[in-house]
Chains A and B, each alone.
Chain A
Amino acid sequence: MRRYRRVAFLLLAPSLVLVALFVYGFILWTGWLSLTNQNDLFVPHVRFVGLANYLRLFHHPRFLIDLKNTLTFSLIFIPGSLVLGLVGALLLNTGVRGEGFFRTVFLMPMALSFIVTGVAWRWLMNPSSGLNLLFSALGLGFLKSGWYTDPAVGIKAVALAAVWQLSGYTMALYLAGLRAIPPVFYEAAEVDGASPWQAFRYITLPLLTPVTLSAVIVLGHISLKIFDLVIAIAGISGGPAFSSDVPALFMFVTTFQANRFAQGAAISIVLLVLVSFLVIPYLYWSLRREVAE
């Protein structure tokens, strides 16, 4: 037994070292960088400046807009993907013909990279082409919009594209969840005289909770870290008046265009903290469940 443990350790060691260095090591390095004055390509005397970079950040108009945009994005993107995914899964689960075909069609967007989706949606949502032309042709002119070029819409337009891309993914998750519910529950409910709505409300939904939770975690961390979709749709300036801007984009510009490395590191640490608010409770919850089982 002990020999096996030694072999196991030896086999794991390379990846442990690499992860320790390239993931956790660099997170620590970024944390340290965010507390220094390294705000140029070459700073002769690197010194500790405390929380100065963070203070500046929370007074920066662009960063405050970014935080608000992240919230708006999450509020559209997460519920949107969940609801569309659930509806799709329920419809497919009724045993419709050609289920495999529809499943593939709805899942396909997930196989695309955000950059591809972004470029396609940039054309679709260009005010003088795409969707607007379609709406006029259908007599739905009132639906026309400036999309991402209108400061009042901005990030909401980006969130629509994100919903399109990931609702197929939540659908697949929910479909798997639905298939895992034993049919006897429904049979028992029928015997007890439950209506289909009651069966859905008191059997399906509660048993799908773990699936919903996993989906919220995955979608939530995507919405906090979103970068490629925004840059492909709204461009590197984050749209007019930063209406589509997000913290990750601001971080990229701050670090690689303005050379303010410490400031950029501070943005990424703030992002890390935000994501950990989401991930740590989830890890805690899933570990506890594993132990209970």
Chain B
Amino acid sequence: MKLGKWSAGILLGFALAGLALAQGGKLEIFSWWTTGGEAAGLFKLFELYKQKHPGVEIINAAVAGGAGSNAKAVLKTRMLGGDPPDSFQVHMGHELIDTWVTTGFMEPLDQLYKEYGWEKVFPKGVLALLKWNGHYWSVPANIHRANVLWYNKAIFEKYGLKPPKTFDEFFAIAEKLKKDGIIPLALGDNGIWASTHLFETVLIGTLGPEGYKGLWTGQTDWRGPGVKKALETFARMLDYVNPDHAARSWDQANDLIIQGKAAMYIHGDWVNADYLAKKFSGYGWAPAPGNYGVYDALSDTFGLPKKAPHRQEAIWWLELVGSKEGQEAFNPLKGSICARTDCDPKLFNPYLQWAMQQWKTDTIVPSLAHGAAAKESWLAAINDTMSLFVTNKNVAQAQNMLAQACVDAGVCTR
């Protein structure tokens, strides 16, 4: 009898707990934002969400690891196992479309786009990357720029230099600095994506925005002279990087600029947030060589998986992510600009204000290293090519591997 009482009590307890949860609702958000400004931005969004929808319990399912390398593996296991989060962070473009949309895991979001007039506030270049088969599949939270040249102001002033606009100017500056024992270009590719990232800016600078975009549709020939020239230029650039680049991460490479040991760094604009976090102000910026007038963009977006356990709560989340209020709260902390074009520039720091200006006028191209331009298997094959090329600088072998990767991706025929 005693046992009966106990179990009845336990059952009652469970029932009460279940009732409380059912009333409050839940929202599980999956991302790889775990440190610094990105985590701060995420928490700010959670805070706004709680104000609007008190009583919803938010579960922060974040998995640490740069560029989401660990998080994506965890997400795959959950999605394929039929246990998706309510909404998850995914890079705009092919990473989202080819991994989750064409495979039928996502719900279209046309209703939200219509209701909030998002077709008018997001730029055309972004809408094109979000759309597949005539539908929208995710909501962009931010825009990062990949093709920025960061430089140490003190070094540039000492040698009377201006940021190089072309590759020729870049090599002239690099030669001058190298003779004086300064590392001309910083690189930290212990994650090989950083080399792919640098290479993509060289591809843009060599082929131009249209030629670069053509690489991902089969219109630009991977076996052609343009790609060969880009590989040669990239190989030449590698002569000017810090010798220990394979031991450094992207932020440790940035430390070389902060310490005044290296002069230039071609990387994404999360570097700006790194400077701010490390209280360094002696830096300047410009588009990467050959990249003037081109905005190499990547975006973190959120989508709605078909089997989301808390669908309504997830839709509220997407509304917040796409709203002006949400973007203005999130982006100054994350160190990115709004995907919307109507955010108030006064809320942002000088670099971001510059980027917002350029965002309105530049040609937008999708970033390769950050999942926008090509699907994951294609990107993995290009990363493999870069791993070999950075060391052996064998242009013919690399071009062959790149062309084969395009064939394997089903985009090229030769």
- The chain A residues found within 8 Å of chain B, CB to CB, are 39-42, 61-62, 126-128, 146, 148-149, 151, 234-243, 253-254, 256-260
Contact = CB atoms under 8 A, between A and B. Distances in A.
A237 B99 contact: no
A126 B244 CA distance: 9
A242 B377 contact: no
Given A40-B377, A237-B191, A259-B376, A146 B392 contact: no
B377 A237 contact: no
A237 B387 contact: yes
Given A42-B103, A149-B244, A242 B387 contact: yes
Given A126-B247, A127-B244, A240 B377 contact: no
Given A41-B80, A41-B103, A258-B381, A242 B388 contact: yes
B272 interface: no
Contact of A149 (B247, B376, B384): B247
Contacts of B189: 237, 240
B214 interface: no
Interface centre among A126, A237, A257 (most CB of B within 10 A): A237
B387 A257 contact: no
Contacts, number: 75
Nearest to B194: A237
Interface of B is mostly: helix
Given A41-B103, A240-B387, A256 B246 contact: no
A256 B388 contact: no
17 contacts: A40-B377, A61-B388, A126-B244, A126-B247, A146-B243, A146-B244, A149-B244, A149-B247, A236-B69, A237-B191, A237-B383, A238-B387, A241-B391, A242-B387, A253-B380, A258-B377, A259-B376
A257 B247 contact: no
A241 B383 contact: no
- Which 3 pairs from chain A and chain B are nearest by CB? A241-B391, A42-B103, A258-B380
Contact of B99 (A127, A239, A254, A259): A259
B244 A128 contact: yes
Nearest to A42: B103
Contacts of A236: 69, 191
B376 A240 contact: no
Contacts of A254: 380
Contacts of B73: 256-257
A257 B380 contact: yes
A146 B243 CA distance: 9
Contacts of B383: 237
Interface string B365-397: 000000000001100110110011011100000
Contacts of A257: 69, 72-73, 376, 380
Given A236-B69, A243-B391, A257-B380, 17 more contacts: A39-B377, A41-B103, A42-B103, A42-B104, A126-B244, A126-B247, A128-B244, A149-B246, A151-B391, A237-B190, A239-B246, A240-B390, A240-B391, A242-B388, A257-B72, A257-B376, A259-B376
A41 B246 CA distance: 31
A128 B247 contact: yes
Interface residues of B, number: 31
Interface string B79-103: 0100000000000000000011011
Nearest to B190: A235
Contacts of A242: 387-388
Contacts of B192: 237
B191 A235 contact: yes
A116 to B, nearest CB: 17
B310 interface: no
Nearest to B381: A258
A235 B191 CA distance: 7
Contacts of A39: 377
Contacts of B104: 42
Nearest to B100: A41
A267 B401 CA distance: 20
Given A41-B76, A62-B384, A126-B247, A258 B376 contact: yes
Contacts of A61: 388, 401
A253 B73 CA distance: 9
A128 B183 CA distance: 15
Nearest to B383: A237
B77 to A, nearest CB: 8
A242 B383 CA distance: 11
Contacts of A253: 380
Nearest to B388: A241
Nearest to B196: A237
A149 B104 CA distance: 42
Contacts of A259: 76, 99, 376-377
Interface string B220-262: 0000000000000000000000011111000000000000000
Contacts of B245: 149
A234 B246 CA distance: 9
Contacts of A256: 72-73, 76
Contacts of A151: 391
A99 to B, nearest CB: 40
A46 B104 CA distance: 16
Contacts of B246: 148-149, 239-240
A257 B103 CA distance: 16
